[in-house]
Structure 1
């Protein structure tokens, strides 16, 4: 696996940004990241009334013990932008998914707005893994193994800081 994440300095701090592209209409990719039966294939199912400002529960199906985490929907602008704040045992996370389609190809730009002192190597490898799970789910391909991502990607992400 080749790491793809970039560390970008913003006016508010640092963002870890990863990009994936799909030969698919934007609405189909949007469904993959928002519909509970489709998110279950690569991240985990969710439950609750989804709306901007609402909090849903997401089951992290590919983590040890498959924990549930509270997830606030900060923004939802179908089919282009989804911003979420999550809380779990490892802390609070703010992420944003931005989608754009050109000529039948949809780009998914994933940004994790990093908190100071965030463990970049673990987060980078983790998001690479989850986004590759998304790709595998969309393509009907075998799921990757997290052991192929971490600690193998640690030197790459350590070098970004």
Structure 2
């Protein structure tokens, strides 16, 4: 199975983000739990160890055998609607956010990662499509997708993205 490129580039106050949406038939509390509880995270994306409420937490993406655990700095956490955090340290650090919005019995998840430059979307985009599709599959009780359907298959779609003009 090949995934689909679902990202879009968005300028935010703190930089350029690659943003993606997924829709769930669930209330935000349920989706929030799947995205923040260590036992749930392990089933679709990775391991969270330590105590996030004290700032002493590490996260490791489990579907990437070479991935190392990274420190997590939580910048905003407003359960069950908003999360903003930095992962890693120094030049390798990256920022991610997610928002959950409910409407008509559905919850829309908007996920984003800040990019250093637009070209980074070619590697970041397929990865997040893969992980977010794993989230959807896990919540639906379906088999999780495999990486080979995402990279390099989706890289060109992200290379071809048009950078939006900055609006004020």
Settle same-fold status: TM greater than 0.5: yes
CA distance in 1, matches of 2:11, 2:126: 19
Q: Residue 119 of structure 2 contacts residue 159 of structure 2 at CA under 8 Å; is this kept in 1?
A: no
Q: Residue 87 of structure 2 contacts residue 94 of structure 2 at CA under 8 Å; is this kept in 1?
A: yes
**Higher RCO structure (Cα 8 Å, ≥6 apart):** 2
CA distance in 2, matches of 1:89, 1:72: 12
Where in structure 1 are there 5+ consecutive unaligned residues?
none
**Post-superposition shift, 1:109?**
0.2
Query: Segments of 4+ in structure 1 off by > 4 A?
Result: none
What is the aligned partner in structure 1 of residue 9 from structure 2? 7
Match of 1:26 among 4, 25, 28: 28
CA distance in 2, matches of 1:89, 1:144: 32
What is the aligned partner in structure 1 of residue 50 from structure 2? 48
Q: Residue 99 of structure 1 contacts residue 107 of structure 1 at CA under 8 Å; is this kept in 2?
A: yes
Q: Tell me: CA distance 1:117–1:4, structure 2 relative to 1, closer, same or farther (3 Å).
A: closer
What is the aligned partner in structure 1 of residue 140 from structure 2? 139
CA distance in 1, matches of 2:157, 2:119: 16
Residues paired across the two proteins, number: 160
**Post-superposition shift, 1:48?**
1.4
**Post-superposition shift, 1:118?**
5.8
When the two structures are superposed, what TM-score results if normalisation uses the length of structure 2?
0.88
Q: Residue 55 of structure 1 contacts residue 73 of structure 1 at CA under 8 Å; is this kept in 2?
A: no
**Post-superposition shift, 1:101?**
0.7
CA deviation string 1:13-69 (max 9, x = no partner):
311000000001110000000000001111112111122x71411121111235211
Where in structure 2 are there 5+ consecutive unaligned residues?
163-168
What is the aligned partner in structure 2 of residue 107 from structure 1? 108
CA distance in 1, matches of 2:65, 2:73: 22
What is the aligned partner in structure 2 of residue 36 from structure 1? 38
What is the aligned partner in structure 2 of residue 120 from structure 1? 121
